[in-house]
Amino acid sequence: MTESSPILSVDRPLVVGKAHAESVVEHDTAWTRLIYVYLACATLWLVVGTLIGLYLSIKFLAPDVDHVPWLSFGRLRPVHTNTVFWGWTSLAMIALVLYVVPKTNQRRLYSFPLAWASLALINLAVIIGGLCLMAGINNGGQEYREYIWPVMAIFAAGVILIAYNLIRTIADRGVEEIYISNWYIMGGFLWTSVLITISYLPFYQQNGISETIIQGYYMHNAVGMWFTPIMLGLTYYFLPKLLNKPIYSYSLGVLAFWTQMVFYTMIGAHHFVFAPTPWWLQTVAIIFSVGMVVTLAAGTGNFLLTMKGSGRTIARSYSLPFILAGVISYFLWSAQGTLEALRSLNLVWHFTNYTVAHSHLTMYGFVVFLLWGGIYGLIPRMTGREPSHLLAGVHFWFALLGYFIYTFALMVGGTLQGMSWILEAPFIQSVRLMEPFWLLRAVGGTMMFLAHLIFAYNLWRMRPLRAKREMPATQMEALA
Amino acid sequence: MSFHKNHWLLFSVIFFGYIALSWIVAIGPAIWVQDHAHALPGAKPLTPIERRGLQVYVAEGCIACHTQQVRPLKMDAVWGRPSAPGDYAYVKPLDIWHPYAPAVLGSERTGPDLTSIGARQPSEIWQYLHLYNPRSVSPDSIMPAFPWLFKVVAKPPADALVVPLPPTYAPPSGTVVATDKAKDLVAYLLSLKQVPLQVACGSGAK
């Protein structure tokens, strides 16, 4: 057996050597430190938030695993969702924004102290918010609106301060045109500032149904007018930068931007299809959900056509595969959202675990994968220190396979749940049949959590060292 | 002057455009519904104890797994008649920390719908057993147990509400009695019943 196998030969090793990032290109250590600390805090929340998620997944299989009020499912579930939303994803996203906006505007960030203050505020909100939820102090709201208003006000203050910081940076830009990334990023910040304000003002949510209308608007926009536009904006920077070529079409980006704003805002009511909310509002939401296909096709097409012909570069990079996976996820799982809004399919999937799969497919497969692509693409270029290439690969595959197992289990299980209700079987049947799928979900969740530990280690490997030790003498001279 | 070069123009359109759209799909409809969803004839507002029970319901996150909305679909008929906006007219803000109506409609049915749980399971004792440990009455349930809504006493006082647990679920010694929070929550759950919609034939809009 000296002949090597066709799969694992010398020419085709199991792991491909990845290209190294070029040496340090950023010498602004204050800037590097700011961004790195944002990411370090974010990653702490990732590990904490997903550990809680993993523990919750075990509770579906062993509901009596503990009888501690603070760890009870109803109290802990919003701790998981809010920690990964506002702690991990938001902070990591803001870290990358704090690089991309100054870079594309060719100006230093307007105020570093303000940026540090925002970090402190957001961390504070996540800490107090989590403790309150575990103590049974919540807003009485649904998804992502569980923090009571004083806590959300702290978070909102953090977001608004960054928005101000960014506007001042952009207003003082060193280039004439505002690069498309900044459109999406500022969209995300301005829309979210408005969204939190509208959704936390009480005047028009004084009874059950009026509150439900605001909740539908809020839970939908908190994802799609915060994470989606900012992640797309970041990708409009990182993708061409890492591929070293221009974006396929600038105009497609502009088209997707305006349709995002007009279509996406209208579709929150599709979270309450068949509810006693106004029927016309639900129909409007469903129609614009279908309209989102335009935005999706424009955005994804633009990214994929930019990547066309760069297969080798992507394969040789440890950051670009994350971006490729994120872009494909963006299209697939957002399109899934459109399908779920259609009344005929909503009938089967609404209220089931299918929706849990959907939220993980989009938030994780799309948003988080693009974040990781950006982080692996950027940080080595700022600190001059690379992650373990092999571990970055292990991170990628564990996260990808983990979330596939997690979500496919819940999609199949959720569909069966819906079928069982349609067949008017006793309700407990829909609980019993889920058991194997909940087990698979815990297995996938474990793989995802392991991937997060590996990522945390890699982030530590990329940490900035003191400039004096790190910088070669020649560069020091060049700077002097 | 264009969006590409004038940041004030771009950001103003983004900002005010979004507020305008939000008026159309969120604030406007919410105000309209708030002014037009009147309580159904025969519906009663929550009593003080039921209101406190709703607070426990909210604090423990029951909303995460239980809906309170019956859709106009055949499969939902098991939970009652289709819900109407008026069914939620008495779902009101709780206090200064909860200045909005609690989101009782829910978004997931990991557990059954509770729209008419008060009619479906009217037994108080069943409710207490179920809250202390759901497995004691529903072996395959995965609902969390809420033992902290109860306390174990050596000798229950005469007026205590004793929970008659089967031996498997009873603590090794002592008797389980309900705390006020458990009583509040059960009062709230038992209050969940649909008011019949009486539509007389021929009385529709002409």
DSSP secondary structure code for residue B134 in this structure: G
Task: Report the pLDDT averaged over residues A179-197.
Answer: 98
pLDDT of residue A19: 85
What is the maximal distance between C-alpha atoms in chain B? 82
pLDDT for residue A419 = 98
The distance of B155 to chain A (nearest Cα, Å) reads 23
Distance CA A373, CA A326 (A): 8
The percent of residues in chain A predicted with pLDDT above 90, rounded, is: 90
What's the pLDDT tens digit per position in B128-187? 999 999 999 999 999 999 999 999 999 999 999 999 999 999 999 999 999 999 999 999
Contact B150, B182 (CB under 8 A): yes
| pLDDT band (50, 70, 90) for residue A28 | confident
Domain residues for the domain of A246 are 185-309
| Closest listed residue to residue A210, CA positions, set B91, B169, B163 | B91
For A163, name the nearest residue in chain B, comparing CA atoms only.
Answer: B11
CA nearest neighbour of A107 among A172, A12, A193: A172
> B82 to chain A, minimum CA–CA distance in Å?
8
Residue A53 inside a domain? The answer is: no
Q: Smallest Cβ distance to B61: which of A64, A138, A430?
A: A138
Buried (b) or exposed (e) across A53-85, using 16+ Cβ within 10 A? bbbbbbbbeebeeeeebebbbbbbbbbbbbbbb
User: Pick from A136, A208, A356: which is nearest to B88 by CB?
Assistant: A208
Those residues whose C-beta lies under 8 Å from the C-beta of residue A255, and which sit 6 or more positions away, are A294, A298
Report yes or no: A353 at the B interface, CB cutoff 8 Å: yes
CA dihedral A130, A135, A141, A146 (to 10 degrees): 0
Backbone angles phi, psi at A205, to 5 degrees: -135, 55
For A430, the 3-state DSSP assignment is helix
Cβ neighbours for A111, distance < 8 A, ≥ 6 positions apart: A165, A168
Position B20, amino acid: A
Q: Which tokens is A274 given?
A: 């068949």
* pLDDT tens, position by position, A318-327: 999 999 999 9
Which candidate from B61, B94, B140 shows the least CB-CB separation from A77? B61
Please give the structure tokens belonging to residue B142: 């995965």
**Residue A150 placed within a domain:** no
Counting other chains too, the contacts that B8-17 makes at CB distance below 8 Å and 24 or more residues apart are B10/A178, B10/A183, B10/A186, B11/A167, B11/A186, B11/A190, B14/A183, B14/A186, B14/A187, B14/A190, B14/A191, B14/A261, B15/A190, B15/A194, B17/A261, B17/A262
Which residues of chain B does A210 touch, with a Cβ-Cβ cutoff of 8 Å?
30-31, 33-34, 37, 101
Banded pLDDT at A24 (limits 50, 70, 90) = low
Query: Which one of B11, B57, B169 would you mutate to disrupt binding with A, by most A Cβ within 10 Å of its Cβ?
Result: B11
Hey, where are the domains in chain B?
A: 1-36, 48-191
| pLDDT at site A18 | 85
CATH superfamily of B48-191: Cytochrome c-like domain (1.10.760.10)
B34: chain A residues, CB-CB within 8 Å = 204-207, 209-210
Would the CB atoms of A204 and B30 count as touching at under 8 Å? yes
Give the A window 139-158 contacts with B, CB below 8 Å.
139-143, 145, 148-150
| Residue A92, domain member (yes or no) | no
- CB contacts under 8 A, A 395-434 vs B, are 421-422, 424, 427-428, 430-432
Q: Which residues contact A330 (CB under 8 A, 6 or more apart)?
A: A232, A296, A299, A300, A366, A370
Decide if A63 and B142 are in contact by the 8 Å CB cutoff. yes
Q: How far apart are CA A433 and CA A441, in angstroms?
A: 14
* Local structure of B111: helix, strand or coil: coil
pLDDT at position A88: 98
Cβ neighbours of residue B103 under 8 Å, at least 6 residues apart?
A140, A141, A142, A145, A211, A212, A215, B63
Query: CA-nearest residue of chain A to B12?
Result: A190
Of A24-28, A119-123, A263-267, B134-138, the least confident? A24-28
Q: Judge whether A170 and A182 are in contact, CB under 8 Å.
A: yes
Q: Please return the burial class of A153, using the count of CB atoms within 10 Å of its CB with bins 0-12, 13-18 and 19+.
A: middle
From chain A, pick out residues whose CB is under 8 angstroms from the CB of B135: 63-64
Decide if A208 is inside a domain: yes
Beta bridge partners of B153: B175
Kindly state the average pLDDT of the residues A417-429: 97
pLDDT value for A6: 55
Residue-wise pLDDT for A341-356, tens only, equals 999 999 999 999 999 9
pLDDT of the residue at A9: 59
Tell me how many domains chain A contains.
1
Distance CA A303, CA A353 (A): 31
Q: What is the DSSP letter of A313?
A: H
A186 touches chain B (CB under 8 A): yes
Residue A124 has pLDDT above 80, yes or no: yes
pLDDT in the model for residue B198: 73
Rounded distance, CA A138 to CA A70, Å? 13
Q: Are A220 and A274 in contact (CB under 8 A)?
A: no
Q: Specify the DSSP class assigned to residue B95.
A: B
| pLDDT, tens only, A355-407 | 999 999 999 999 999 999 999 999 999 999 999 999 999 999 999 999 999 99
List beta partners, residue B98.
Answer: B95
- Residue A8: the pLDDT is 57
Q: How confident is the model at residue A2 (pLDDT cuts 50, 70, 90)?
A: very low
Torsion, Cα A228 A230 A236 A237, to 10 degrees, reads: -150
pLDDT for the residue numbered A197 = 97
Residue A231 has pLDDT above 90, yes or no: yes
Residues of B in contact with A187 (CB under 8 A): 14
Lowest mean pLDDT among A14-28, A162-176, A446-460, B172-186: A14-28
pLDDT at A204: 96
Q: Do B34 and A140 touch (CB under 8 A)?
A: no
Return mean pLDDT, chain A. 93
Return the exposure string of A285-324: e unless at least 16 CB atoms fall within 10 Å of the residue's CB, then b: bbebbebbeebbebbbbbbeebbeebeeeeeebbbbbbbb
Q: Is the pLDDT of residue A106 over 70?
A: yes
Q: What is the DSSP letter of B200?
A: -
If 0-12 CB within 10 Å is exposed, 13-18 middle and 19+ buried, where does residue A353 land? buried
pLDDT for res A271: 95
Residue A304 vs residues A143, A296, A328, A331, A404: alpha-carbon distances, Å: 32, 12, 8, 11, 22
Kindly report the average pLDDT of chain B as a whole number: 94
Q: How far is CA A60 from the centre of its chain?
A: 25
Contacts of A170 (CB under 8 A, 6+ apart): A101, A105, A178, A182, A186, B7
pLDDT digits (tens, 9 = 90+) for A450-470: 999 999 999 999 999 865 544
What confidence category does residue B204 fall into, taking pLDDT thresholds of 50, 70 and 90? very low
Determine the residue of chain B that is closest to A344 in CA distance. B73
Determine contact: A194 vs chain B, CB below 8 A: yes
Ordered DSSP codes for A135-188: TT---S--TT--S-HHHHHHHHHHHHHHHHHHHHHHHT-SSSS--HHHHHHHHH
A107, part of any domain:
no
What's the pLDDT at A20? 84
**Least confident segment among A71-75, A236-240, B166-170:** B166-170
ipTM for the complex shown: 0.94
pLDDT at position A265, please?
97
Contacts with A266 from chain B: Cβ below 8 Å:
21, 24-25
A259 falls within a domain: yes
DSSP for B142-158, please give it: -PPP-GGGEEEESS--T
- Greater confidence (A7 vs B126) lies with B126
Residue A430 tokens read as 């829909």
DSSP assigned state of A43: H
pLDDT score of A10: 61
Percentage of chain A beyond pLDDT 70 is 93
Contacts of B144 in chain A (CB under 8 A): 59, 63, 72-74
Q: How far apart (Å, rounded) are the C-alpha atoms in residues A85 and A227?
A: 9
Residue of A nearest to B1 (CA): A177
DSSP A260: I
**Is residue A56 a part of any domain in this protein?**
no
> Which positions in chain A touch B197 (Cβ < 8 Å)?
none
